[in-house]
Amino acid sequence: MLCVEISHSKRRAKKHFYSRFKLRKIDELISLDELERSIKQYYIQGSFVEDKKHLGIEGPRYRIFIKKNDKLIIIIIEKTKDCLLPITVWFKSLR
């Protein structure tokens, strides 16, 4: 079965992702729980783009785009043997 859970086993990667989530004020747009649910939902739906420029260490990397109000949240995830590993996140304005 295809694993679509968010991996929290890699502490360094989790810390990096969470620091970007807070530093870039993504938490003012979306909660971490909602973001993780959205990542899983978009991945299951196939709503992602392979990031061929930045190869992953354990598997392919993908970009997921989530529209929230007037912002576009961009998340980089890596598909590992353990599941989905969030790498980084940022947003840009749609205005």
Query: What is the distance between the alpha carbons of residues 17 and 62, in angstroms, rounded to a whole number?
Result: 15
List Cβ neighbours of 52 (8 Å cut-off, separation of 6 or more): none
Task: Write the DSSP assignment of 28-66 as a string of letters.
Answer: GTS-HHHHHHHHHHHHHHT--EE-SSS--SSS-EEEEEE
Quick: pLDDT tens for 18-62.
Answer: 999 999 999 999 999 999 999 999 999 999 999 988 889 889 999
Query: Phi/psi class of residue 25: alpha, beta or left (left: φ > 0; alpha: ψ in -120 to 50)?
Result: left
pTM of the model: 0.88
